[in-house]
Amino acid sequence: MEDLNEAVQLFEASSRLESAATILHKIGAGEQSTAGERQALQWAGRFLAQVDWTAGRYGQAGVSGGLAVQATAVRPTFYNALIGIERHFRDAGLRQEKDVIAFLRGCYSFLIGGGAQKKHRISPEKLRLASLFLRELSQGLLVNLNRNGVPRENELLATV
């Protein structure tokens, strides 16, 4: 049952992050977000700030115990997703670690603010980059969920 609970949590996080990626792309295209979409962005911002150890004060935001557990399970995939889009960061001029950290903190702030451009101005290019990152993370979680077709160790032992 524990595996099923973890699978549900990973699927939920993946789905919510994919939704947030779509909303960011929409905002980057100049479209307005709905109240429900703003709530989805806020969840993504709080979640990512909890996942990212470099988030600084954003990572200290009050979160539920369930969200903290999800964040712990997602953390390795989060850092793999950052590595996966490293080229896109460089293309956007984010070549040093401090630049990426500043970008991510700005994204968390924007997301936590519900995507309000008035408070946290992010260029359409950076919104597309943030959307790409969230998609990469979401897809990585789905791969982990499926284990990419590789059986679990206990499944291998059961066949011996």
Query: Which tens digit of pLDDT belongs to each residue from 40-92?
Result: 999 999 999 989 988 765 544 555 556 666 777 888 999 999 999 999 999 99
Residue 22 lies in a domain: yes
Task: Note the pTM of the prediction, 2 decimals.
Answer: 0.82
Per the domain annotation, does 103 fall within a domain?
A: yes
Q: How many domains does the chain have?
A: 1
Split at pLDDT 50, 70, 90, the class of 31 is: very high
Task: State mean pLDDT over 93-119.
Answer: 90
Instruction: Report if residue 70 sits inside a domain.
Output: yes
Residue 40 lies in a domain: yes
Average pLDDT taken over every residue of the chain: 83
Residue 104: exposed, middle, or buried by beta-carbon count in 10 A (0-12, 13-18, 19+)? Answer: buried
Host domain of residue 132: 2-147
pLDDT at 16 over 60: yes
Is 155 inside a domain boundary?
Answer: no
- 8 Å CB contact between 140 and 92: no
